[in-house]
Amino acid sequence: MSYRYQRRYCGPLQAVILDWAGTVVDFGSFAPTQVLIDAFAGFDIEVTMEEARVPMGLAKWDHIQALGRLPTVAARWQARFGRAMQTEDVDALYARFMPLQLERVGQYSALIPGALECIAQLRSRGLKVGTCSGYPRQVMDRLLPIAAAAGYQPDCTVAADDLPAGGRPGPWMALENVVRLGISDVAACVKVDDTVPGIAEGLAAGMWTVGLSASGNEVGLTHAQWQALSEGERKARRLPAAEKLYQAGAHYVIDSIAELPTVIERIEERLAAGERP
């Protein structure tokens, strides 16, 4: 007779792992999208904001490659250059993208309303705050002091090119946070993100996942634009964004990080009851 030992983590949450643009800073996630549009424009290729948002959440080299493979963008590239986009073209676009992103990331990096209050509540519960991003390390090194000056200093930050395994939708950046923060079980972590690859990352790492609809890439409005909408207009924008994140596997979807503390309480109740992500 054989026995299988099954252990379920029933302790408290230990960490929240947050994305950056569209999650804690840059309501509407404009820094990466607008710069990508401008990088392609440097090659005489028009890319719309809607197209630029499709692969959001991937590491930026991968994002450029995926954007170039969209049928509409691929057709424009073929018409302009007489061939499909090649790896060396992605390299050239990335080389154009990087200095623009470094120059402009600060312009779009205001903290999302309620972020600091949320972080304070998380810390008061004893939670560690980890982060990861589709941004490369060069951009994160520019963004971190800007965020610190605004009062946001996470315990850990992993950039898309920090790890040899790569970035999203794989679990590696989220798991690197687990290692660096000294977390005892992945079920004690909550991954918070506004993109489908970011939700996939959290699920692949075995974590609880929370999607952000209004503040992130899926709605794609500035905070002022969001506030100016009627409640009916917000609902019309929110529902398809939330559905997309739920379809990706998010355990919860909320408008913005400001609502996260309430969800944290619910997840801890589920953990105490023996549930796992």
| Tokens coding 55 | 């692969």
pLDDT of 1: 42
Edge-to-edge strand order for the sheet containing 128-132? 156-158, 128-132, 15-18, 189-193, 208-212, 252-254
With beta carbons less than 8 A apart as the criterion, state whether 45 and 75 touch: no
The DSSP line for 217-234 is: TTT---HHHHHHS-HHHH
Task: Report the candidate in 187, 185, 220, 213 with the shortest Cα–Cα distance to residue 198.
Answer: 213
Write down the pTM of the prediction. Answer: 0.91
Q: Is the dihedral of CA 228, 234, 237, 243 positive or negative?
A: positive
Give the pLDDT of residue 10: 87
pLDDT by residue (tens digit) across 68-95? 999 999 999 999 999 999 999 999 999 9
Residues in the chain: 277
Tell me, what's the pLDDT at 8? Answer: 82
In terms of Cα–Cα distance, which of 154, 157, 115, 164 is closest to 138? 157
Spans of the chain, pLDDT less than 70: 1-6
Other C-beta atoms lying within 10 Å of the C-beta of residue 126:
10
Reference 238, options 264, 260, 219, 252; nearest CA is 219
pLDDT of residue 6: 52
| Cβ atoms of residues 60 and 134 within 8 Å | yes
Q: Where are the alpha helices (DSSP H) in the chain?
A: 31-41, 49-53, 60-69, 71-81, 87-104, 115-124, 137-149, 172-181, 196-204, 223-228, 231-247, 260-272
Residue ranges and CATH numbers for the domains of the chain are 15-29+109-272 (3.40.50.1000), 31-107 (1.10.150.240)
pLDDT for the residue 130:
98
| Active-site residue list | 19, 60
132-151 pLDDT per residue, tens: 999 999 999 999 999 999 99
